[in-house]
Structure 1
Amino acid sequence: MNLGDFNDLEVVREVDFGLYLTSDDGDLLLPRKYVEPGTQIGDIVHVFVYRDSEDRLIATNLEPHARVGQFATMSVRDVTTTGAFLDWGLEKDLLLPYNNQRRDLRPGERVTVFVYLDETSDRIVASAKWEWFLSPDPFPGKVGDTANLFVAEETDLGFKMLVDGTHQGLIYHNDVFKPLRLGDVHTGYVRAIRPDGKLDLTLQRPGYDEALAQTDPLLEALRQAPDGRLPLGDKSLADDVYRRLGMSKKVFKKALGALYKQGLVDLAPEHTQLRK
């Protein structure tokens, strides 16, 4: 049986307060409120197994925010001398031991952690020192590759990202053109691979290709605008450009230039007009 993960276990007996399931580690309870209607003795149920507040094995059909071996961002519910307790989607909060914290935490904060099974105590715990659990191997990709970026932490330089769940990268503040929230996952691109193996990242495809890729959406936005007139131009605010088109102003200006060279638009400081 895998503690801290989902298991397929057999129902062996029923009691007033739930069903008992059998496993190699002994029988464990699936409380009545988590029993699907019609479940009978002999059925196989798919359940998440963890330990309750008294360290007894217990099953649930709730989906935690993270399983053992996964990264996640969770909210701090409480802080004690033992550590911080995190909301991980189950009845019992997840312990982030004091020694696994990078700094003092406060209730209500969100923190990125790695969830693992402590071999000494056989308990599921979290660590905010998530970098320790990244792959030691060189990044297998190359500059320009597309990657899934998990927003892990904000720093003075920018946002630390988990790249494809295995490596660490950074998006600098001056490359961020939309709100980033801890725990969000975005599609991004590898801008550079540093000698230390860490990655410089961007949310936009590097080079002029991104601008070319955005000419079609920009052209469609112009066609949908009243009289083919879009209230965005060279002097428009970057926030206005992103809010309306979902692209950075830098990319917008390059895409606009490409359409102008094709003779498709007329330009003004505060608006763009689609040519008839």
Structure 2
Amino acid sequence: MGLGGGWDGRPYTSEDIRHAETAIEAALAAGITAFDHADIYRYGKSEAGFGEVLARTPGLRRRIVLQGKCGIRLPDGERPGHYDLRGASIRRRVEESLVRLRTDVLDVLLLHRPDPLADPEDIAEALTSLHAQGLVRQFGVSNMSGPRIAFLQAHLDVPLVVDQLEMSLARRDWVEAGVLFDTPAGAANGFATGTLEHCAAQGIRLQAWGPLTRGSLTADPDSPVCRLVTDLAGRKGTTPQTVLLWWLQRHPAGIAPVIGTARPERIAACRDAALREPDLTHEEWYALWVAARGVPLP
């Protein structure tokens, strides 16, 4: 999302391309080979800038996994922002993304947000066609609950293999939903109970967007969370960013963080999350959770 210049109609510049090259190089050096896109990021310029780098770097496409998303339409004049998972729209957005990315196939396509007006059979027809034509290898969803995934899958022959959700030490509703069941706080949680269990049972990989919360958890050195994260990082010989990602990766759901940043130094700070097993004990994992909650577990 951070590539391609500003959130405006101006084209990307040569400096934006250099920035993209630097970010991609930093990711590869850190052991990161999967890149998450969406057709709306920077109004398509994130994909276009990335495609420019692919065109300039022979062999790079074979080394990486390209994941795209479609289904959100940004506001345009009097047209409000809305969701659009009509089959024809999905196909058109994928074709446009392939052109911008300068590739002939997406490794994974995610449906970005639920569209209440979508016809699941229409979606299924579009995805089946894209798969049969070799334009998309695998499919998944983003920001969807277990029941909605099951509803879509009932109309699909190709499996849904990913669900991307907002998950972090700051956004904990996904992990607290089960723990707070049958407590007064549980009614206010809001997360769709059973989503993690459904994904685990069906072999659907969870991805976490926003796992570093734009640095908010490590911005205040006097906060209990920041102190604990920093202390653990020092004792484990790693970075605070890695500790935050390890907290997600330590969960048995097998969560894959999507780190989001395009800053090379922050990408490099996540290296151990890609190259080392999560080095958190049972008690350390809970200590981070309780510190972030600010109150004891029920």
User: Is the TM value for this pair above 0.5?
Assistant: no
- What is the TM-score of this pair, normalised by structure 2? 0.23
Q: Which has the larger radius of gyration?
A: 1
TM-score, scaled relative to structure 1: 0.24
* More helix, by proportion: 2
